[in-house]
Amino acid sequence: MNKRMGIIFAVILITAIIVGCTGFGRKNDKPVVLTLWHVYGGQTDSPLNQTIDRFNETTGKEKGIRIQVTSVSNTNTIHEAVIAAANKEPGAAELPDMFVSYPKTVLSLPDKDILVDYKDYFNEEELKAFIPEFIQEGMIDDKLMVFPVAKSTEILFVNRTLFDRFSKETGAKEEELATWDGVFNMAKLYQKWSDDKTPDIANDGGNFFVHDYHFNYFQVGCESLGEDFFSDIADGGKLAFGEKFKQIWQPYANAAISGGVWLRDGYATEPLRTGKAIVSVASSASVLYYEDVVTYENNISEPIEVISYPVPIFENGKKMVMQRGAGFCTVKSTKEREKAAAEFLKWLTEPENNIEFVVKAGYMPVTEKAFEELPNASEKLENLKYRSLYEALAKTKKDYTFYVAPQLPNYLDLEMHFEKNVRLELSRVEQEYKDALQNNTQTDINTYIEEAYENLVQAMK
Partner 1 sequence: MDLKNEINKPVNTKKTSILDIFKGTSKQSRSMRSKLMLYLFCLVLAGTGILLLLLVAGGVFSESGTRLEQYLQVHLQNQKKDIKERVDLFTTNGIDLSKRLSGFLEREVLSYPYDIKSLDNNEVELRKMQENMYLLLESKLHVTRASGVFAVLDTTVNTSAPGAEHSRSGVYLRIANISGNVLEDDVFLFRGNPNVAMQNKIQIHNRWNMEFDIQNMDWYNEQISADNKKSLSENYLWINRQHLEDTWENCIFLTIPIVGSESGRYGICGLEISSLLFRLSYPKYESKYGDMVTIIAPTDQGKLLVSDGLCGSQGSSYINENEDLFIDPGKTYNTYFNAQGKYIGIQQPIDGVFDLQGRQWSVAVLVSYNSFKEQERYEKLVLVIILMMFSLVMLLISFIISRRFVKPIERGIENLKTEDFYKTQNHSGIKEIDILAEFLKTKEEQYKNKGGALPKEVEELFDRFIENSKELTSSERNILGYYAKGHEISELPDLLCISLNTVRKHNRNIYMKLEVNSKDELQIYLDLLIRCGRINEII
Contact positions vs partner 1 (CB under 8 A)? 3, 7, 18-19, 22-24, 26, 28-31, 33, 37, 41-46, 49, 66, 68, 70-74, 77-78, 81, 84-85, 91-94, 264-267, 269-270, 273-274, 276, 289, 291, 295, 297-301
Measured CA to CA in angstroms, residue 108 lies from 86, 219, 234, 321, 408 at distances of 10, 20, 16, 25, 9
The CA radius of gyration of the chain, in Å to the nearest whole number, is: 27
**Helix, strand, coil % in the chain, rounded to nearest 5:** 50, 15, 30
Query: Least Å distance between CB 92 and partner 1?
Result: 7
Distance CA 108, CA 243 (A): 30
In one-letter notation, the amino acid at residue 234 is: A
In this structure, the chain runs to a length of: 461
Which of 400, 344, 326 is CA-nearest to residue 103? 326
Q: With respect to partner 1, which residue has the nearer C-beta, 78 or 313?
A: 78
DSSP β-bridge partners for residue 313: 179
The helix or strand, by DSSP H or E, that contains position 95, with its residue range, turns out to be: none
Query: Least Å distance between CB 199 and partner 1?
Result: 21
Distance CA 322, CA 378 (A): 22
Query: Least Å distance between CB 5 and partner 1?
Result: 12
| Ordered alpha helix ranges (H), 197-328 | 214-224, 243-257, 269-273
Query: Least Å distance between CB 239 and partner 1?
Result: 26
Query: Least Å distance between CB 106 and partner 1?
Result: 18
Query: Least Å distance between CB 275 and partner 1?
Result: 10
- Spatial contact of 287 and 114, defined as CB atoms under 8 Å apart: no
Q: With respect to partner 1, which residue has the nearer C-beta, 201 or 300?
A: 300
Query: Least Å distance between CB 47 and partner 1?
Result: 9
Query: Least Å distance between CB 184 and partner 1?
Result: 24
CB atoms within 10 A of CB 20: 11
Q: With respect to partner 1, which residue has the nearer C-beta, 41 or 251?
A: 41
Q: With respect to partner 1, which residue has the nearer C-beta, 49 or 250?
A: 49
Q: With respect to partner 1, which residue has the nearer C-beta, 244 or 360?
A: 360
Q: What is the DSSP string of 384-405?
A: HHHHHHHHHHHHHHHH-EEE--
Q: With respect to partner 1, which residue has the nearer C-beta, 299 or 316?
A: 299
Instruction: Quote the DSSP letter at residue 94.
Output: P
Q: Is 242 exposed, middle or buried (0-12, 13-18, 19+ CB in 10 A)?
A: middle
Q: With respect to partner 1, which residue has the nearer C-beta, 24 or 382?
A: 24
Q: With respect to partner 1, which residue has the nearer C-beta, 119 or 276?
A: 276
